[in-house]
Every structure is written in structure tokens, then in C-alpha cells.
């Protein structure tokens, strides 16, 4: 993949993984670690759900507002997941055109569309032990025990064929997970 170093265009990094693996936590840690490196942009997605400030990094919007912006072409990408609507702002296109590496938390369902639209696109898949995911989901407090059990039992959507994601196991300490993620992002930027 030609990201920033060999191409005038930047790259889109799609961060995926099942609920409870710590995607937002790793993204937040990487944002802090790479704050001085202007090659990186960490985009806030728009979600039709109220944000829990301590657990999630997104902008909230009701379904009607979201539909209006989507119809006006104000999202770079949009998708459905878990009965909600998600979108990445159009600023993604500007940042990529300016040669930046744009990092976004997305659903696996949007990978194929993103890869078609953004040729310089990498996928980072975050995983974690199931017992740790259950603990994190319980702490989050959005779902009942039965809902958490059902969520953990569901098979995650597969990554589309032909895509070789970078896999980061976030079962250890936060420092180890953030370090692995930052190293992966730097490698993508240098390719």
C-alpha cells in the first residue's frame, strides 16, 4: 500500500473488532502518543446514539439529522450496525488528499466499500480474550447480562476475502496495546 511516504495521497486506517476489545481506548491512547505527528488524524464518527463520554469517542445525532446529512452527501462513509447509523465526516477525503493517515473506528460491514473508495486503505483488527471482553461490556453498563452473553456468542462479520488485516491482541496491559497500535500506524504511514 502506498500511504504517505511514496504517494501524494494519505491513507485510511479502518480499526475493527468486536465490542469490548478496546478499540476506542487504543485509538485514544494512540491519539495522545501521536499528538505531535501531524501525519495522523483521528476522526470522530457520527452515531445515532448518545455518547458515553468516558467510554466512547463519537458525535451523537438523531436519526432524522443523520438522514438529512447523508442525503446531502456530508459523510465520506456511512453504514448500519446494531440498529444504529454510523458515519465518517467528509473531512476524511480532505485529510487523505492532504497526505494524512486517517484513523477511524468502523464496522467490518463497511470495509469493502471503504477499500473501493480509498485505494490506500489498511485494516487493523483488534481482538481480546472473551472473558476480558465480557468484563469490559459489563462495566460499560449499556446491556443486561443476557444481552452481553448474546453479543459475545454472535459470530463477528468476517473481514472481506483478500484483505490481510494487521491484528493487535488487546488482552494485556493498556500500554502494550497502545504501543502495538502506534507501531502499526507508523508502519502504515511509512509504507
80 domain residue, yes or no? no
Q: What is the total count of domains within the chain?
A: 1
147 domain residue, yes or no? yes
pTM of the full structure? 0.85
Q: What is the pLDDT of residues 123-180, one digit of tens each?
A: 999 999 988 888 888 887 777 788 878 777 776 777 888 888 999 999 999 999 999 9
Q: Where residue 157 sits, what CATH number does that domain have?
A: 3.40.50.300
24 domain residue, yes or no? yes
Domain that holds residue 178: 11-41+97-190
68 domain residue, yes or no? no
Whether residue 2 is predicted with pLDDT greater than 70 in this model: the reply is no
Residues making up the annotated binding site are 17-24
19 domain residue, yes or no? yes
Using alpha carbons, select from 6, 10, 17, 5 the residue that is nearest to residue 156: 17
CA–CA separation, 39 and 36 (whole Å)? 9
116 domain residue, yes or no? yes
Q: What is the pLDDT of residues 15-49, one digit of tens each?
A: 999 888 999 999 999 999 999 999 999 999 888 87
Residues making up the annotated binding site for ATP are 17-24
CA–CA separation, 179 and 185 (whole Å)? 10
Amino acid at each position: 500500500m502506498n500511504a504517505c511516504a511514496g504517494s501524494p495521497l494519505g491513507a485510511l486506517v479502518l480499526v475493527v473488532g468486536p465490542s469490548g476489545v478496546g478499540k476506542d481506548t487504543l485509538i485514544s491512547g494512540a491519539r495522545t502518543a501521536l499528538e505531535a505527528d501531524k501525519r495522523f488524524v483521528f476522526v470522530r464518527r457520527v452515531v445515532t446514539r448518545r455518547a458515553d463520554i468516558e467510554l466512547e469517542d463519537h458525535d451523537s445525532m438523531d436519526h432524522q439529522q443523520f438522514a438529512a446529512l447523508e442525503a446531502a452527501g456530508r459523510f465520506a462513509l456511512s453504514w448500519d450496525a446494531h440498529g444504529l447509523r454510523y458515519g465518517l465526516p467528509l473531512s476524511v477525503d480532505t485529510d487523505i488528499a492532504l497526505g494524512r493517515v486517517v484513523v477511524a473506528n468502523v464496522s467490518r460491514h463497511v470495509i469493502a466499500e471503504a477499500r473501493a473508495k480509498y485505494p490506500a486503505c489498511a485494516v487493523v483488527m483488534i481482538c481480546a480474550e472473551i472473558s476480558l471482553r465480557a468484563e469490559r461490556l459489563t462495566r460499560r453498563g449499556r446491556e443486561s447480562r443476557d444481552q452481553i452473553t448474546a453479543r459475545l456468542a454472535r459470530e463477528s462479520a468476517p473481514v472481506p476475502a483478500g484483505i490481510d488485516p494487521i491484528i493487535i491482541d488487546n488482552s494485556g496491559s493498556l500500554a502494550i496495546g497502545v504501543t502495538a497500535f502506534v507501531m502499526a500506524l507508523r508502519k502504515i504511514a511509512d509504507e
